[in-house]
Amino acid sequence: MTSNDRTTETANSRQASAGARSGTGEAPHRYLVKEARVAVGHDYVIERHHGGLAYKVDGTLLRIPEALTLNDPEGQEVLEIHGTFLDVTDVMHVSRHDHTLATIRKRSSDVGHVEYAAELPKHAHVSVSGSPEGRTYRLIQDGRPIATTSKAWVPLGKGYRADIEPSQDDALVLAITVCLDVMSRPVVK
């Protein structure tokens, strides 16, 4: 076995173990979600793990009704996020072509504990385990993690990593993470 063969075998082994973690044989799709450096509202840039623009989130708050748009690299709208961003953000909706794909809710208990959940079509439920405020959480559906986020170091800004299971709609899951990021920010009064 040559050193090239060992390198290839090691890379294949890492890829296989990453795929085994996802349960599908494929490695999770990885993204870096960064707040735009000069943002008017809630603007984000979403890059693929190995580089390259995947999506941009345009969060211009001057638009009525208030909405964020998830656009592909060519600027075409992929998804739209609706909610009330200037006030308390307890409910947000993600839609494609005027069809609601997800409703994200924020619920506060009497003791001050906050819970987040996403409702998908056909009564599917996605729970949030962890801390959206700290950008470290998992999205869980039917007892299985479908996405994991973690803080990421971003030069001159803020951001987080998102690892999404291959069987998921990446754009929809990323839109849910953006909703959670917006909803978990402190309300400025």
Which pLDDT score, from 0 to 100, does residue 8 have?
36
Burial (CB count <10 Å: 0-12, 13-18, 19+), residue 95: middle
User: Does 145 map to a domain?
Assistant: yes
Q: Does the pLDDT value for residue 103 go beyond 90?
A: yes
Which pLDDT score, from 0 to 100, does residue 138 have?
95
Distance CA 31, CA 52 (A): 10
Q: Is the pTM higher than 0.75?
A: yes
The DSSP call for residue 188 is P
Domain extent, residue 46, equals 25-183
At 144, the amino acid letter reads R
User: Does 6 map to a domain?
Assistant: no
Which pLDDT score, from 0 to 100, does residue 13 have?
36
Residue-wise pLDDT for 72-95, tens only, equals 999 999 999 988 655 556 899 999
CATH of the domain at 152: 2.40.160.200
User: Does 16 map to a domain?
Assistant: no
Q: Does the pLDDT value for residue 55 go beyond 90?
A: yes
